[in-house]
Structure 1
Amino acid sequence: MGAHEASKVIHALYNDDEILMDAVKKVKGEHHHIEEIFCPFPVHGLDKAMGLAPTRLAITAFMYGITGLSVAIWLTWYTMIHDWPQDIGGKPNFSWATNMPAFVPIMFELTVFFAAHLMVITFYMRSKIWPFKEAENPDPRTTDDHFLMEIPVHGNEEELKTLLAATGAVEINVVDKH
């Protein structure tokens, strides 16, 4: 196998998400590696069908929420109890715990704020997406109505073409991956 062949991939295009799911199961059943699938919208169960590991983003969201809650607790204690205690409506200002019900909206909002904003940043960093980055999309039709399955070629081009044609691919192209 030459260096040129190692950089070749097959792009199989599908026009229906259910046909794509069946195709993924058949391709994985034949023990072929699927490099990537480009979709115009999220396809439920596709990650499981491809055999991808579960995401750990939920764990990071929880940690970011806990960080936001901690900041909110510190902020309410520091501003209302330690730094500038005030007698508002006859409430005691020497104890955070007795005033905590008044701080619940602040704690909730900062928990959500930290989780949401830090999750967006984490998602973009994990996905290697940043401002002005060029799209890695190999075919613009995958942003509209087609699904593209990318499979590396390792001397089995004809076998893969036959398999993909049998799975219902509407178009099969062999391209050099850059």
Structure 2
Amino acid sequence: MSSNKVIHAIYNDDDVLMDAVHKTRAAHHHIEEVFTPFPVHGLDKAMGLAPTRLAICAFIYGCIGLSVATTMLNYIMIQDWPQDIGGKPSFAFYQNMPAFVPVMFEMTVFHAAHLMVITFYMRSRLWPFKKAENPDVRTTDDHFLMEVSVNNNEDELVKFFKSTGAVEVKVVEVENDKH
């Protein structure tokens, strides 16, 4: 396990933070992470993060749910135990499909939602009983923290972040054991 230094620039306004992120990227400093108490619109684009592919997973999971619902309804209502309910014959799936649409919709949403939660937790490495990685408890309340890597330029970076409107700038030793 190696250790290195990072700068923790703490802000108390999201607009000041966004401006600081733009200035930091323009100055070609590497932003390790930004911690916020609530989602900040446009922060991912300002940081230069790649778009997420979770929407593709949601579509695939919805298709899986629709397939499970169709297979389940066809087996239960047509093949296994056909019944004449409300005058609707059960000779073929397509004849009863309008009655099956609510169940198919609900199963699609159910599978997409539940499998997305599991995928998100796995992708984010959020396991049960995982130790929090939040460097400053104030970022869960009303402060914003930008973590920037230091490359033998501490004094320059401290001055730079104070000029961007940071209310507090700290140089911190961190251990590289995140992955």
TM range (shorter): over 0.9
Which of 29, 35, 46 is the matching residue for 2:26?
29
Tell me the residue number matched to 1:115: 112
Q: Give the whole-Å Cα distance in 1 for the aligned partners of 2:98 and 2:135.
A: 54
Q: Give the whole-Å Cα distance in 1 for the aligned partners of 2:72 and 2:61.
A: 16
When normalised by structure 1's length, the TM-score is 0.96
The 5 A counterparts of 1:29-68 are: 29-68=26-65
Structure 1 runs (4+) deviating above 4 angstroms are: none
Gaps of 5+ in 2: none
The 5 A counterparts of 1:73-152 are: 73-152=70-149
Tell me the residue number matched to 1:17: 14
Gaps of 5+ in 1: none
Deviation at 1:162, TM superposition (A): 1.3
Q: Secondary structure at the match of 1:148?
A: strand
Q: Which residue identity does 1:106 align to in structure 2?
A: V
RMSD over aligned Cα atoms: 0.9
Percent of pairs with identical residues: 70
When normalised by structure 2's length, the TM-score is 0.95
Q: Secondary structure at the match of 2:87?
A: coil
CA deviation vs aligned residue, 1:43-101 (integer Å, no higher than 9, x gap): 00000000000001111111111110110111100100011111222322110001000
Q: Secondary structure at the match of 1:32?
A: coil
Q: Which residue identity does 1:166 align to in structure 2?
A: S
Q: Secondary structure at the match of 1:36?
A: strand
Tell me the residue number matched to 2:164: 167
Q: In the comparison of the two structures, how many residue pairs are matched?
A: 174
